[in-house]
Amino acid sequence: MESGLPLGFNSLTTPIFSICGLQDQERASFLNALLEALAGRGLETVIVRGYSSDRGRYELITGKGTSDLVSDLILIDGPSPSSAPILRLGEGPSSPQDGSVLQSFGEKGRLESVLAFLLDHLSGIWQQTPVWACVLIGGRSSRMGRPKHLITDDNGVTWLHRTVNLLQPLVDGVVLSGKGLVPEELGEVIRLPDTPGVVGPLAGILSAMRWYPAASWILLGCDMPDIMEEALTWLLSRRQPGIWGILPRLQKNSPVEPLLAYYDFHCRYLFEDLARRGCMQIRKVVENPKIETPLVPKKLLPSWRNVNYPADL
């Protein structure tokens, strides 16, 4: 694990900062206040300290509200042997890490200044997180009687080809998950096998997240022929730091829609937990408070229509 962090930390994609300066007790008091301020912004933060060369890892100090040590931000209390950028509180004693100090903060307005600095950096880092799309083509299509992703529109374009063409300008990449036959014109699109021992959409999204853990994902089915570009841009526009997933609702009290939904890279740990428990219903992640469930604008509702029977055509 990077930097000797405790097992369970997502140090691959979670921003890490080292907080130095002040006396230990005073710095601890400041970090507690900072933790509360970050929590008020909907951000899960954990604090670690006490790096031990014997154990080769840090000690978890606090992580209010965190789930399995997955967090939006990791703060290291005091100097560390890692390459984490340092935020110095006041002047403080000099140390070998001074060359890595990213910014220093005086006493006046320190909490507000550090909070604003972290929020700004979190937003910038979050904006750099790649977003990919995973299209599921593994269904048996037993109700339709033929592979749904190969059904063509009036112009002879398969539903799958139309979906991929719609996605490619809006995301950083597209993968196909499942055993379905792929048209020759889509032969260069990346294909991923389903996760062994897992069934349904969970097999596809978990495979995608294991393949590229640093990316966030849009998950959708191959049987949604009416998807609009506006629906995808609406979904992507709701992303922000602290939100780990966006599962829309078609009506105020309707169930969430797990397909044509957005899953931040943090959701991998929620999906891994579902798989361990033998629960194959990906909509169960909505039980986590970090998942948003917005109401779909009325004009975009057709995008969430899926087709299952020949009569639906």
Residue 177's domain is classified under what CATH number?
Answer: 3.90.550.10
Place of tokens 């922000």: 240
Q: Domain check: are 187 and 138 in the same one? A: yes
Hey, how many other C-beta atoms are within 10 angstroms of the C-beta on 202? Answer: 22
Q: What sign has the CA pseudo-torsion 161, 267, 116, 238? A: positive
Q: Domain check: are 80 and 143 in the same one? A: no
Task: Using DSSP bridges, classify how beta strands 261-263 and 216-221 pair: parallel, antiparallel or unpaired.
Answer: antiparallel
Per the CB < 8 A criterion, the answer to whether 235 and 131 are in contact is no
**Chosen domain end from 101, 127, 153:** 127
Q: Domain check: are 179 and 120 in the same one? A: no
Q: Domain check: are 152 and 230 in the same one? A: yes
Task: Using DSSP bridges, classify how beta strands 86-89 and 101-105 pair: parallel, antiparallel or unpaired.
Answer: parallel
Confidence check: pLDDT of 258 > 60: yes
284 confidence band (pLDDT: 50, 70, 90): very high
CATH at 32: 3.40.50.300
Per the CB < 8 A criterion, the answer to whether 248 and 294 are in contact is yes
Q: Domain check: are 275 and 182 in the same one? A: yes
Q: Domain check: are 301 and 206 in the same one? A: yes
10 confidence band (pLDDT: 50, 70, 90): very low
**Chosen domain end from 88, 111, 127:** 127
- Name the average pLDDT for the chain: 82
Which one is predicted more confidently, 61 or 70? Answer: 70
Confidence check: pLDDT of 104 > 90: no
Q: Which residues contact 298 (CB under 8 A, 6 or more apart)?
A: none
**Chosen domain end from 127, 162, 191:** 127
What strand order describes the sheet that includes 16-20?
Answer: 57-62, 45-52, 73-77, 16-20, 86-89, 101-105
d(CA 48, CA 122): 18
Hey, how many other C-beta atoms are within 10 angstroms of the C-beta on 196? Answer: 7
Confidence check: pLDDT of 133 > 50: yes
245 confidence band (pLDDT: 50, 70, 90): very high
Domain extent, residue 6, equals: 2-127
d(CA 294, CA 193): 31
| 24-36 per-position pLDDT tens digit | 899 989 999 999 9
Confidence check: pLDDT of 2 > 80: no
DSSP string, 191-247: EEPPPTT--THHHHHHHHHHH-TT-EEEEEES--TT--HHHHHHHHHT--TT--EE-
Q: Which two tokens stand for residue 109?
A: 């307005």
d(CA 26, CA 47): 15
What backbone phi and psi angles, to 5 degrees, belong to 187?
A: -60, -20
Confidence check: pLDDT of 65 > 80: no
Q: Domain check: are 103 and 184 in the same one? A: no
Q: Domain check: are 144 and 85 in the same one? A: no
Q: Domain check: are 161 and 297 in the same one? A: yes
Q: Which residues contact 300 (CB under 8 A, 6 or more apart)?
A: 228, 230, 231, 234
Q: Domain check: are 45 and 115 in the same one? A: yes
Q: Domain check: are 122 and 145 in the same one? A: no
Tally of structural domains, the chain: 2
Q: Domain check: are 215 and 302 in the same one? A: yes
For 21-54, b/e burial (b = at least 16 CB within 10 A) is bbeeeebbebbeebbebbeeeebbbbbbbebeee
